[in-house]
Structure formats: C-alpha cells, structure tokens
Structure 1
Amino acid sequence: MTESLESWNAPNRMLFGWGAVSELGSYITELGAEHPFLVTDEGVLAAGVLDPIDESLSAAGLDYEVWSGVRPDPTDEVVHAAADAYAAAGSDLIVGVGGGSSMDTAKAASILATNDGHILEFAGSGNVPTPTPPSVYVPTTAGTGSEVGHWAVVTDSDTAIKEEIGDPHLLADLAVVDPELTASAPAPVKAATGMDVLTHAVEAYVSIKAQSPTSALALDSIEKVGAHLPRAVEYRGEDREALTKMARASMQAGMAFNGAGLGAVHALSHQVGATFGVPHGLVNAIILPYVMEYNLPQVPDLMVDVAAALGEDVDRAKPADVEGRKAVAAVRRLGDAVRIPGTLAETDAERAATSRLAEQALDDGSLTGNPRTTDAADLERILERAFDGELAHVDD
C-alpha cells in the first residue's frame, strides 16, 4: 500500500526585507513584462503606500496601470471588474498590492485573464486549466500571508458565501515582503491582522494535514507573534524589529497553511465575515481561543507546544490536556493586550444567525484540516460561546 503523499507549494521567488519594494521594477523587468497592472484599494492609495512602488516602476521605465477598485471581502462582481480593466489596459503582468482582499482580487482576476467563464466556476482545488499571467504580490499588512499561497477567497454576491479557489497557477512568480509598507496601518488593523497570522499558524500546526516543514514554520510564527505583536501594534516609527518579525511571521504562517490547511476558525470566520462584513482578522481573533479549547482534547500535546511558543511556563511532566489550556489562556491574553474585542457580540455579527452560519461552515473547505471532527451542533456551540465570551477552563 502506498503511503499518503505530502504536497506543498511555494512562490517561484521571494524577496524579503526593509525597503524591498525599491527593487520591484527591476524584478518585473526580469520577468519580461512591459505593462504591469496594479490591483489595490483606495486606502492604500490615500496612505501613500504605493509611492515607493510608483518610484521603482517608473525608474525601470515601465508603463503601468493602477486599478483601485478593491473592496473588503471581494465579490465576484469586483473580480470581474478588475479582470475587465486588466484586459482593457493591455497589461502583461498583474501586481496585487495591499491586504488579503487586494491579493485575492488580483489572483482571481488573473484566472479570468486566460480562462473563460464566471470566476465562481473555478471554486475548489485544481480547477484552473490554463496558466495565469505572470504575477507579483506585495502585502501591506502583516496578516494574510496570501502573497506566498495559491488560494483566493471570493464572495458570491448572490449568496454572501465565501468560495475558495485554490490552484498552483495562482502562486506568485515573485512575492515581495517589505515590512516598511506595514508601518502606516492603524493600530487596530495591525492588531487584527497580527492575530490573523497567529490563527493561520495555530491552525496549520494542529491540522491533520500538517507536515514537518509546515509545522516548523508555524511554530516559529507563533513564537514571533507572541513576542512582537504588541510592539508592532504600538509602532511609532522606531521599532523596525517588531514590524520585520511580524512580516516574517505572516509570510511563514502563509507558507505553513498553504501546505497544511486550516481549520474550524476559518470555516466559521468566512461565514461571519461574508454575512455581516466583520473584518476577517478580527473574527479569527475572537473565535480562535474557543476553537482551540474545542480541539484541545484531540491534540493536547500540540497545544502544549503552542503554549510554550507563546512564552508560557509549561510542565511537560503534567497531563497535556491540563497544560494545553495555557495555550488558550495565552491567546486570550494576547488578544486583550492588543485590544481585540472579547466577544462576537461586540461586532456587527448577529447571534440569531449562529445556526445558519454553522450549517454553512460545514461546507467550507478550511474545515477539512481541523483535528477534531465537527458537526453543525458543535460549530453552533463554538459560535454561542464566542458571543457569550465563555471559555470553560480558562481564568481571565
């Protein structure tokens, strides 16, 4: 009998470091492109984050187009608008600049550049038949890790359900991670996206599809977030180390879950975010400790590892199911430290929708990595606890 095979994809090339975007123009020239198409949002433009990219592309003599129509949790309509603009511009390379929504929009639009049909027809894994145009992804938050992954999430404008599209064709030809670009993000954004990094890392680490390289990347990311997120949130122009460590943690966590998958946190947060417009990282941050507590009986030893990575004093001679609770408590404290709301009741999410959201989450692809088997009733209870702020075994 053949052993199960491991599969793990990564971008063709990665460039990491403070000021890295200054080299973007020369790298795009190396890719043979002449007319890059930049996909971003109005917030990135207004913050001046695109300025060093403009300088680099102009210095390289590139004729480029900027499309700033990205919206949070991009819908199929937004994606098709981006694809139409790409075609009208006669571009030959796509650049996603911004948070996860910008990169998801760019990835999805790149599919339509070379494949006919509606974007949601490509939902699932491995359903993109024709290679996409060359692509470059440049994150402006330390959060999604989308720049190093082969997944895009698109919201169905008719059903408000998030659909996942995964394919190796969506991997970047170049991922440019410049921590300096994350400096201007407001503190609440840094907090929510940073907790998103933690969620990616924790879910990848305990996933049933974890592999030794993904676990190593995930655990190191957990340690970096625990040590540097509060400092990054409070950044005032001096602590470059904190931003750099968080940018690296985000990239590593993205690579980790790209191979190991995710779990129930993302399965639930996709539903809450699409239905009520609550930012993805914020929902993840609130739900994470409740899912960790739910999964603890299935993976107690792994939760002890998470606790240790977050700086907890763990005693491995004691029962793992007891020591593993320290991981849940540590995540809760970290969220408090960066002023994450403690409950879903403090967001625009509505408690009356928990049953429907739980049913929808059962069909979310992220759930396949969760270490503990779930049903709709389990997921509904997790959401109820997240609304109430009740953790069974953790002292606040």
Structure 2
Amino acid sequence: MTTRNLTCATTAGLSRAVRALAREHALDPEVRGRLVLSAAEAAGAALRAGRETGLKWAYDPGAGLLTVVLRTPGDMGPAAELPMAPDAVTEDEVVWRLPAGPPVDDAEEAPGDDALAAEELRAVLAAADALTAEHRRLKDELEETNSGVLALYVQLDERDKQLRTAHGQTLRELEDALRPPLIEADGLELAVHYEPAGTDAPTGGDLYDWFVLPDGTVHITIVDALGHGVTSTRSALNVTHAVRTLALEGHRLQSIVARTDEILYPFDRAVMATVLLARIDPGTGELWLANGSHPPALLLRRDGTARYLEARGRGIGFPLPGSETPLTERLAPGDLLLLYTDGLTESRRDPIEGERRLIEAAHKHLQSPIEEVPGAIAEDMHTVILHPDDTLALAVRLTGQ
C-alpha cells in the first residue's frame, strides 16, 4: 500500500489536488466531482481563515480501495451535509474510502483542470437528467396506476350499488311477505304506513295484522316487539300468529293478550312486546279495544273533536300480562281511527308533545284519501327526529256504505 501526503493553502489548490488524485485512480467523473466538492466544503472554513489543510491518500491494490483523508485544523464544515458522505469523521479529519483502480501515470496526456471540471459537470448533469427521466417514468406509471385504481373504484362502487339494490329488493320482498295484504270490508276504509328505523334493516319489531272474522267483524292487531332487526321481527311474528289463531278460535278479546303470553313463553322466553287489539263492526261502527302496554288509539271525529282511547292492560313478557275489560266506542261515518306504534310520537322531544302533534297532523289530513293518511301523518310527525325508531301507522275510516 502506497501513501502520499499533500498540504493545501487554498480551496482552488485543494480542489486541483483532489481532482488529480481521483483522475489518477480512474474514479468515475460523477464520483470525482462529488469528492472534490466535499473536500472543498469540509475544509472551506479553515482555508478561508488562513490555516493549511492536509490531504493524505493511500491505495490498497489487494482490496482495490482508495482511502482519502482530509485533515482540517478546526472549523470543519458539517460532514452530514457533504455531497459525498464520509466513511469516518473525527474532530479534525474526514475519511472517504472509495473503490478505485491502480494509479495511472499519464501526466503528459492528462487534460487540464478546467477540462476535468467540465467533465464532472457533464457527468452530474447526465445523472440529473437520468433522475429526471426516471422521475417522469415513475410519475407516468403512478398516473397510470391511479387511473387503474380509479377505474377499479368506479367498478367497485357500481358493483356495490348493484348489490345494495339487490339487497334492498330482497328485503322489501321479505317485508312484503311478512305483512298481510289489504282486506276488503264493506263500510270500512283501511291503509297502513311502515317506516323502518334504518334503511339497512327494513324489517323490525313493528308489525300489524288484519282479517275478517266469521261474524263479519274486522280484527286488527298492532305489535311492537322490543329491539330492532330480524330478531324483533321474529318475536312480532310469533305474537301476530298466536293472536290470529286465538281470535279465529273465538277467544274473547280481553283474554287474548294473556293467552298469547302463555302460548309463547315456552318457545320464546325473551319476547317482550306491546299489543293493541281492535275489533270493528263495519255495519254498526261498534269498536272494541284491548291493550297490552301499547300507546292508545286516536279517534278523530268527523266534526274535528279528538280523543285518545285509553284501554288498560300489560304487554307480552311483562309482569302480569293481560287486558282488562275492552274499551267500547261507536264510530260514525267519516270518523278516523288511528292505530300506531311509539315510533310515531316518541321520536319527538317528549311523548306528550308527540301526542299533541299527532292530533294536529290527524286534523290536517282528516279529509284526505285514506291511502294517503298514514304516510302523510308520519311525514308531518318526523320533521324532527331525535332518536329514530321503527314507525307504524294504521288508519281506519268508517264510510257508512
């Protein structure tokens, strides 16, 4: 291994010396340029202060490694910011170790310092151009990738819309299958509106059932099972099926709630549901109501007077379930009877305000076609919703025909 030393008093002299030894060992022009700049920056403060800088280099032919040591007596520049990162830094030395070839003595053919500097500049510019081209290529690839990702997102969004549409259609069909079709009863007009708490679960615990009994009276069941979604739907269906069976078997209206609780208890001990039962004679307008912890029905007379029909009782799954003696009333032609679940009134700030607003909404739509009444009332009631809940509104009007 041969070692050489040199002392430099100016930045220009140091740059020429580093450039010469780098060319002597056939360093790439770009590497040579970085080494020259790094040495000048590291020793710049000391040289400007008039202190000489020592330059030492050694070549190891076995390892093909050139070691360059720059000794700067104080005022060394920040080594971490040099164009070529050093391999070692001490208090007054900076060391670079570079792969290099053996020294070549071609002093007579060697280009001048300016020519070598120009060669280094061209190499740096070529490297910069290569980086720019690579950056442009990567940018083009990124834009192409982004376009592909965007197209994929569009496809996925369209697919999601298709799946949600199919999902919603399936749930609507299921909902329709759970709800009985409109019945025909001479002398009565009936309509119903159902609105789920959320569009992702269009079935819930609010169900109704209506049918004509053998004696010609119309039976209506309103159920509000605890909870939301499919579980509450199952409980509500169990209640409506049990009530229908008991009604068709001829059980008295006031006994049906308690008997339903007895029937369901062995099969569904977790069920809790409020129930409102109504019987209407279309010919006479006579009305019977049995309640199990459910909001009262609203009767709005043709002349505009309104009254909540409070019938006493406790719901399915409640302590001491059952109904007391049914409340009786007589409907006149043009009277409107509204049966509903608490989602219609308790979505307001308080139930009392909800009941007052319900009377106002019923007044507003008293003379509307019956098929529009439940939905229009629900829309008026839900202008402000503080806690969404399943909502069911069922309207009955006596026509007297």
Tell me which interval the TM-score lies in, with the shorter structure as reference length: under 0.3
Name the TM-score, length of structure 1 as normaliser.
Answer: 0.24
Q: Which has the higher helix share?
A: 1
Kindly indicate whether structure 1 or structure 2 has the higher relative contact order, using CA contacts under 8 Å at least 6 residues apart.
Answer: 1
TM (normalized to structure 2)?
A: 0.24
- Structure number with higher strand proportion: 2
